[in-house]
Structure 1
Amino acid sequence: MDELSSASPVSFAEFPAVSTAEWQARLARELKGRDPATLRWPLPDGFSLEPFYHREALVALGGPPAPLPHPTAPWLNVPSLNVPAGQDGRLQIEQAADALARGADGMHFVCHDAATFDVAYLAERLPLASTFVGYTTTAAPDALLGRLVDAAPGTALRGFLRFAPGAVPAGAELADYRAGLRRCVRLATAMPDFRALAVNGAFFGNRGATATQQIAFSLNTAAALLAELPNDETPAAEVAAALHLHIAVMPGYFLEIAKLRALRRLWATLLHAFGLPAELNASLRIHTTTATWTQTTLDAHTNLLRHTTEAMSAVLGGADSLSVAPFDCLFADSNEFSARLARNLSVLLREEAGLGRVQDPAAGSYYLETLTDQLAREAWALFQRIEVAGGLTQMRGQLLEEIKTVANETFRRIASGHQVVVGTNRFQNPHENFSFHPKKLLRSAEFDVTRAAYPTEVLRLATALHFERRDRKSKRAAVVLLGANTNQVILESFLQMLQAHERPELAASHPAGTLSLLYSSAEEATLMYATPEQFRRFARFIYQIPTEKQQFIPPALLSADLATMHEAVRVFGFQEMKVQGYTTEEVLARLQGRQVPPVTA
């Protein structure tokens, strides 16, 4: 180590310096007349990345930026465990104790009913004074934290508390939660290693937001908390000290590194805008998770590769803690095999790759410093636009609509093949044997439908059920809700799978705002569409749900005897989607990578 620290700087003086102009001239020669602009990489964020960056990029930034604050110790490996509603969490607490003995540095309990979580057993089984523990709750965060304090009297907890109220961003409806969140701040005041307020940026990322939107909307969330929570008993500085960030990290390697760095940089700007001490910026904690948005059920082992890229981006971007999800968490119950792979991914990056030994690995990179600056500028402008219009509390609906627009564009790119999802829309395994039952998964209320690959993979799962029904000569029929506007996805996906010479003129998609359905029996499969009201009435009829029951939410998979289903489809007026020149059977087979045998006389 002494030899390394006293070694002279590495010099490459034997290589002549190459200017930007010389690189551009070489680039022009290699392109043989093509426009160099074709090498730019456009991002959904509204700007493009250049094909190369040079030292002038740092000059444009006013010189190399100072390295960002970084943890003095490597990031913490903090797996997540779901505690289902109605359970006391003892099973998950035992799993946590085992994980801590096998390479985990902490644990994150996602409590779907925090009132039943056995905090006394937690305090008995885990040394809370020295163990980093996070808690997510959907209701009454102050009640959970109060119970934790009572269960471990005199103990300064380590970790975080995240309040995730459901279908809205944290901070969007503060009027209902201000008193509880203030109490959380006061309870955690004497706990310097516990962050009681979360800025849930993962909420935006896991719904398909761009990197710029994730940064900006996270800052809008923080601004709402800083504006609404402080009062005479809870000073603004205490609120700021209690805040931490939850961020979902995607597979876009360099973009994600820059996203975390831009967030740290803008955090200082936000604190300054509120007149808060600059030293609070150095104490900011960022908890990262692998994204649910990019996970797939098809060829699920590819999630291991996505998670590796996401985890590397997180730690190189300066994350303080990291949760890597099991590769099969979309469809499988918690199991030791996938949990161990997820836990060991972080261990390998730290112990074998040594990624935690450098303060700010991206510092000085022409490309990453420029990208960090671009994201910061774009995100701050978006943040300001939202604040001028009334902030998160007033603009919540607009924020969600902007994310929905971006997400729908992602669905279209995946359907057309312009955005590759390995194993789902490219390099599929046509002979894949599912380790889960598609029917059970589609009927499950826990099945995550807010993912980029969902419109494509749900069609694959539904058609798998059809082929299975056909092979078994089932006397029943089913209607699978594929989703809104999924017929357009079907059309675009099918078009991509045809050879250029055989691409037919495809029929126009069904009207906007309708739902896509797959009607399937042993004899036939038909792609159809219906209005949301038609589908609701149809589902009530099939399951004999009275119309006066207003809260009925139709499941994605409806099944009945063949005669009942056939008559209901006719009565409720579902329309067939036409793919000219091809039968529905041929379309489904193509989408699954199967060949349809020719019809013989």
Structure 2
Amino acid sequence: MSDVTAASSVSFAEFPAVTTAEWQARLARDLKGQDPATLRWPLPDGFALEPFYHREALAALGGPPAPQPHPITPWLNVPTLNVPADADGREQIELAATALALGADGIHFNISDAATFAVYYLAELLPLARTFVGYTVTEAPDTLLSQLVENNPGTALRGFLRFAPGPVPEGGELADYRVALRRCVSLTTGMPDFRALAVNGAFFGNRGATATQQIAFSLNTAAALLAELPNAEVSTAQVAAALHLHMAVMPGYFLEIAKLRALRRLWATLLHSFGLPAELNERLRIHTLTSSWTQTTLAPHNNLLRHTTEAMSAVLGGADSLSVAPFDYLFAEANEFSSRLARNLSVLLREEAGLGRVQDPAAGSYFIETLTDQLAREAWQLFQRMEEAGGLPQVRGQLLDEIKTVATETFRRIASGQQVVVGTNRFQDRNEQFSFHPKKLLRSASFDVTRAAYPTEVLRLATALHFERRERKSKRAAVVLLGSNTNQVILESFVQMLQEHERPELAASHPPGTLSLLYSSAEEATLMYATPEQFQRFARFIYLIPNEKHVFIPPALLSSDLATMQEAVRVFGFKEMKVQGYTTEQVLARLQGR
């Protein structure tokens, strides 16, 4: 007979039940006659969250949904280590061994050049049969995987492989990669703890997609892989068993919990549509990572707080593994301080907060269950619309255009202050001392310009450099890329700061699809715009790159001597954006609080 006392059911019988009508009457009384509908929270996804949910919400869903399966173990803490193109990864492998000894449960290597990665050294330092290791590569995924298999005969690998072939979503362009991906599936068949195919939902999230779009477009990617890869040697079931999901998690706490839950629910529907057994859904693994879309270089310690909410959403939403990025990764070299904080965040949530001890903590919540259902319904409709239009890769352009539309609106909301980014557009430290060199950062080709705060952030950095250049009476000039279609947003933000009698009539916005630029010299600053082709030719001229066949991604900041820059701006056809009655320098000074 067991000595363990059975847990009694939780009851609050001493509290009288409150009906929905009573709650609504209380809301109306507290609002003093104001319509409760004014408290609705509209989402970019196209629907609104209600200010109040009650037990009827679950009845509308047909009763409380079944909780998600509880993982055998809590989520895995899997830091990401970047292996640069000029390295063989030995240093990162040693860092991985240290991280595993200090609280990490696995490692994710983001490898720039898989051909030079030290597979031998990896096997020497890490026991691959017991260690969860993820690999992201940009080319020849089957080559790296075959090297791992050949150098570890008889070893069933643990972890995942993610193939990220340039600026397209995995599944967005399959024609050139089918053979390699099929080989990856074949090499790992019989390795139940290794997933050789990634559905990279983070690709969409880190470009500003809504939660609905992230779910739907991830399903479109998975559908493309399930439809295109099977052949005589590789079955649909093998492809499905090899799939896993990579999802970026944003700071929208409850929304992100519901996003992961809705995705897992729809995964079962997707597999069923391909005639696959239900048990494959139980094997789904979701790897989550803190979002780059929401990170900032200004007031960067706030990234620690963003990461905390993102990590909590991930694990409460049912993530199987989690990568927390260092708070300063946008501008700093990898360092032990920020890496340790990132690694310990997951450890604290598990060891001290105990978040891994409860099965599906969000289950039964009137609000989250309703939100999960709404996201699932909206995402499935969007998924079907894309499939009816031809699916990936045929609809890749349409899919990216829809994300761009949403992202552009986010840029506008941030620049106008409607959407708060703490430390960047609200509660700024005007005397902030940058822990990086703004000019060096803006010149770096690796500087991430796809983030939500980038247009607002780079304007502040570029303005600081302009006033510094003016004070030093520099003989050089610079052109800074502010982003796409952002000049009108800048002007509108400026107008918001003026009194009514000061407000100018705004010039017409620059044509859609053009880039916003800031030309800066010691004598003047001018807001300009140019087509992407004009800016590309301009950048090649400044950097002396004549061969247009050579792939060249211009940095955000380009500088030269004053005469050369003035002539190049004229020759390549940059146009000035005008603010009636105000110079660009006056606009910038006001936006900077000067």
Establish whether TM, by shorter chain, passes 0.5: yes
Q: Equivalent residues in 2 for 1:64-463 (5 A)?
A: 64-463=64-463
Amino acid at match of 2:17: A
For 1:100 and 1:145, locate their aligned partners in 2 and report how far apart those are by CA, in whole Å: 22
**Which whole-Å CA distance do the structure 1 matches of 2:73 and 2:196 have between them?**
22
Partner-residue secondary structure (3-state), 1:393: coil
Structure 1 residue 515: Cα displacement: 2.3
Q: What is the CA–CA distance in structure 2 between the aligned matches of 1:325 and 1:578, rounded to whole Å? A: 40
Match of 1:48 in 2: 48
Q: Is the 8 A contact 1:480 1:519 kept in 2?
A: yes
1:253 is displaced (CA, Å) by 0.3
Residues 393/513 of structure 1: CA separation in 2 closer, same or farther (3 Å cut): closer
CA deviations 1:16-62 (Å, max 9, x no partner) are: 11111111122122222222211111111111100010000000011
Moved more, 512-521 or 54-63: 512-521
Structure 1 residue identity aligned to 2:361: P
Pair 1:494-2:502 in alignment: no
In structure 2, the residue corresponding to 1:262 is in which secondary structure? helix
Aligned to 1:63: 63
Q: 1:96 to 1:471 in 2, by over 3 A?
A: same
In structure 2, relative to structure 1, the CA distance for the partners of 1:129 and 1:61 (3 Å cut) is same
* Aligned-partner Cα distance in 2 for 1:181–1:533: 35
Q: Distance in 2 between matches of 1:354 and 1:237?
A: 36
Write the distance in 1 (CA, Å) between the matches of 2:206 and 2:35. 36
What SS does the aligned partner of 1:423 have? coil
1:529 is matched with 529
Structure 1 gaps of 5+ residues are: 596-601
Conserved? CA contact 1:455–1:489, under 8 Å:
no
Distance 1:472 1:302, change over 3 A: same
Contact 2:445 2:556 in 1 (8 A): no
Alpha-carbon spacing, 1:434–1:34, altered in 2? closer, same or farther (3 Å): same
- 1:215 corresponds to which letter in structure 2? I
Are the aligned partners of 2:481 and 2:517 in contact in 1 as well (CA < 8 Å)? yes
* Aligned mates of 2:154, 2:500 — CA distance in 1: 72
Q: What CA deviation, in whole Å up to 9, does each residue of 1:483-538 have, x standing for no partner?
A: 22121121122233345675444433333333222121122222222333443443
| 1:184-240 deviation digits (Å, cap 9, x = unpaired) | 111111211111111111111111111011111111111111111122221211111
C-alpha contact 2:445 2:553 (8 A) present in aligned 1:
no
Contact 2:445–2:554, Cα closer than 8 Å, also in 1: no
1:90-139: CA deviations, max 9, x gaps? Answer: 01001101111111010000111111101000000111111100001111
Q: Which residue of the partner structure matches residue 472 of structure 2?
A: 472
Distance change in 2, residues 1:164/1:46 (3 Å): same
**Structure 2: where are the runs of 5+ without partners?**
none
Structure 2 SS opposite 1:135: strand
Provide closer, same or farther for how the CA distance between residues 532 and 226 of structure 1 changes in structure 2, counting only shifts above 3 A: closer
Distance, in Å, in 1 between the alignment partners of 2:239 and 2:287 is 18
Structure 2 letter corresponding to 1:328: D
Quote the sequence identity (%): 84
**For the Cα contact (< 8 Å) 2:181–2:197, is it kept in 1?**
yes
Structure 1 CA distance for aligned equivalents of residues 273 and 112 of structure 2 = 36
Amino acid at match of 1:299: A
The Cα shift of 1:319 comes to 0.3
2:135 is matched by which residue type in structure 1? Answer: Y
Measure, in 1, the Cα distance between the counterparts of 2:4 and 2:504.
66
Measured in 2, the distance between the counterparts of 1:122 and 1:48 equals 49
Change (3 A) 1:571 1:156: closer
2:500, 2:346 → 1: CA distance? 44
Question: 1 CA distance for matches of 2:531 and 2:280?
Answer: 52
**Whole-angstrom distance in 2 between the partners of 1:207 and 1:532:** 19
Which stretch of the first structure deviates more once superposed, 428-437 or 503-512? 503-512
Aligned mates of 2:553, 2:132 — CA distance in 1: 39
> Structure 1 pair 156/430, CA: closer, same or farther in 2 (3 Å)?
same
- Displacement of 1:550 after TM fit? 6.5
> In 1, distance between residues paired with 2:135 and 2:475?
48
Cα deviation, 1:358-394, whole Å, max 9, x if unaligned, reads 0100000000000001111111111111112211122
CA contact (8 A) 1:456 1:489 kept: no
Contact residue 514 and residue 529 of structure 2 kept, 8 A:
yes
Q: Secondary structure at the match of 2:168?
A: coil
Deviations 1:411-435 (A, max 9, x none): 1111111111111111111111111
Distance 1:177 1:568, change over 3 A: closer
**Aligned partner of 2:104: which letter?**
A
Change (3 A) 1:91 1:508: same
TM-score (norm 2): 0.96
2:142 touches 2:183 (CA, 8 Å); kept in 1? yes
Query: For residue 598 of structure 1, what is the aligned residue in structure 2?
Result: none
Q: What secondary structure sits across from 1:558 in the alignment?
A: strand
Q: 1:520 aligns to what? A: 520
Instruction: State the shift of 1:589 in Å.
Output: 2.0
Secondary structure in structure 2 of the residue aligned to 1:481: strand
Question: How far apart are the structure 2 equivalents of 1:507 and 1:424?
Answer: 26
Structure 1 residues 231, 485: CA separation in 2 closer, same or farther (over 3 Å shift)?
Answer: same
CA contact (8 A) 1:514 1:532 kept: yes
For 1:120 and 1:542, how far apart are their aligned partners in 2?
43
Q: Return closer, same or farther for 1:236/1:351 CA change in 2, 3 Å cut-off.
A: same
Cα RMSD over matched residues?
Answer: 1.8
Question: 1:561-580 alignment to 2 at 5 Å?
Answer: 561-580=561-580
Query: In 2, Cα distance between the equivalents of 1:121 and 1:259?
Result: 39
Amino acid in structure 2 at the alignment position of 1:221: T
| Alpha-carbon distance, 1:541 to partner | 4.1
Instruction: Report deviation, 1:398.
Output: 1.0
Q: 1:5 to 1:423 in 2, by over 3 A?
A: farther
Letter of the structure 1 residue corresponding to residue 519 of structure 2? Y
| Rounded Cα–Cα distance in structure 2 between residues aligned with 1:332 and 1:380 | 40
Cα distance between partner residues in 1 of 2:430 and 2:108: 37
**In structure 2, what is the Cα distance between the partners aligned to 1:278 and 1:545?**
55
Distance 1:551 1:245, change over 3 A: closer
The answer to which of 192-201 and 560-569 deviates more is 560-569
Q: Distance in 2 between matches of 1:359 and 1:113?
A: 40
Does the CA-based 8 Å contact 2:205-2:293 persist in structure 1? yes
